[in-house]
Structure 1
Amino acid sequence: MRSRARRYDESDVRTRPNPRGSRPRTKQRPDHDDADRALVTGVDRGRYTLLVDPDTGGERIATAMKARELGRERVVCGDLVDVVGDTSGAAGSLARIVRISERSTVLRRTADDTDPVERVIVANAHQLVIVTALADPEPRTRMIDRCVVAAYDAGMDALLCLTKADLADPAELVAMYAPIGVEVVVTSRPADGAPGPDGRPVIHGLDEVRARLTGRTSVLVGHSGVGKSTLVNSLVPDASRATGVVNDVTGRGRHTSSSAVALRLPDRSGWVIDTPGVRSFGLAHVQVESLLAAFGDLARVATDHCPRGCSHAADAPDCALDEWVAAAEGEEHAARAARVDSMRRLLAARAGEPA
């Protein structure tokens, strides 16, 4: 006798129980209304050092990680963030960064001039301090130009700090950057190199540097070996930033700072952010318009009178900047010519090979 085929129904289907529970996932995220405000003062391998409640008397240092909801958004030194969890700063405590506040300025760089990926270095800084040695190692003006371009693109002021004036005359570099509005401070060391009473290096001109940093958040950049870490240690005595020496063969320094760190000046009058030594400063992200905007007088002339698509370079046909220079006489002519030449030098730095 032939048996009939069995009919199956839903009772025969076995289902695996959900180990995570039956509650459906939701896209709704908590508001974190109870979050604390904090300043990011250091970044190290996925852990962030924070100064929680920096504007109150109850500020404290805490460690945090980035919350998953931030995704790929990068948290950098100088960011103002909202944090939840354990913000006590006790040993072993770990908070979570859940929000990044809108940034007033963003200092960026790319690996080179063809790299489309922007790398945010620092947020919410007021000025970029370009630390350059006058000798040992020799100054590299193209690198200075690139840093100035990056500062202007970020909406920051540029301050050129020339070190080791005891080894070379700063006059040429001062004259080169005055026409583009870059302020310059000069430091030097005693001829005998003797330390001060506290055992620290003596730096002439340090008071002038400190005056330019007061009331501001300043980012220090520069090649290794130019004296940047020595300067930081003098401005913030408990910073303990590692210092290095210049290689006698290559003429370049060894990287001594491995990560950006924000340091408060002793009198609480401002912040300095020390960055790792850089060998290049790619400007693929910078647009000509944003650079020209840093030169208000030139931008007005170019906007009103230059033909559409004008590159404003020295070989640009019918560039109104040439007529603007030619229309002036005497000292005014020289001043206009110097300013246009300087602006075009920065344009060339943006388009050329990294320094």
Structure 2
Amino acid sequence: MFWRALSEEMPGPKWSGLFAEYWPDYRKWWLKEGDAARPTYATSRRALTEHMPEMVPLYDQLCGLAGGGDQAARFLSFYCPPPYLSACSQAIWAGKEPVMVRNYDYNPNAFDGLVLKTGWQGRQVMGTSDGLWGLVDGVNDAGLSISLTFGGRRIVGEGFGVPLILRYVLQTCKTTDEAAAVLSRVPTHMSYNVTVLDAKRNYITAMMGPDRETLITRAAVATNHQENVEWISHARFTATVERERFLLQRLRLHRDPEEKFINAFLKPPLYSTAFNAGFGTLYTAVYRPRKREMELRWPGTTWALSLKDFVEGGRSVLMPAAA
């Protein structure tokens, strides 16, 4: 699997080139239920204006760079996209230097493989791309880091794809309290657990869903269920309860040192090779919000990236055999 790290201060030719490269595959996914199943441009832009007004000028700029087409603009709104599932584990190691660690378990054929560093709207943001301007994890220049896991519920409703919500948080928030307020009011189309850690060591996990109010918790661990397991077959297949218990033991009982705790994400039960089922671990990310740094890790390989001294580049990663 090939990864890229790209930087572009303002939306321009690099982002436009990425869109041209990725759009054919994203268009197939976005249209898999038919064009009529997705909201109109007017509905999508109106929802963005209502819930994330600060993002509208940036959205309009990106739509222009994408060619100004109707379907591309509707896709980029992230409003009521097709449903999609992931697995994932994430946790806060609250040592002297707080660290957020996460595994992203997903289908490698439906993944950007891209770390994007941007200076959009005067805010420096770095993170793992999804949908070309959404993020599945990231950090900003205020020292705010964020990550998501699927919440383990079948219900699909009216709201935004959560990667754009993560982008919105990093574009507009500096603290965990500010992020919690955003996560409490912006609607999501599916259930997700979003963990936030700021430079002052404050953290929360927001349990979001399309059919109920967001629950803001002090949970330091999130896997693929919320307060209770609701989708039993998914929970069994992804071992969400077992992974949660394993992480809680590492934090509460064993009190692993930082490096040992991080390395646990690179081994079972957290590390998955279930790629045939679409839930293999694509990477482990380590965020150090005070330092504005992130690392991508794979067994035997580490790629360090800094918001202050971001270096573009590429990495080829050999994924383990599917199990």
Structure holding more helix per residue: 2
Higher relative contact order (CA 8 A, sep 6+): 2
Q: Which has the larger radius of gyration?
A: 1
TM-score surpassing 0.5?
no
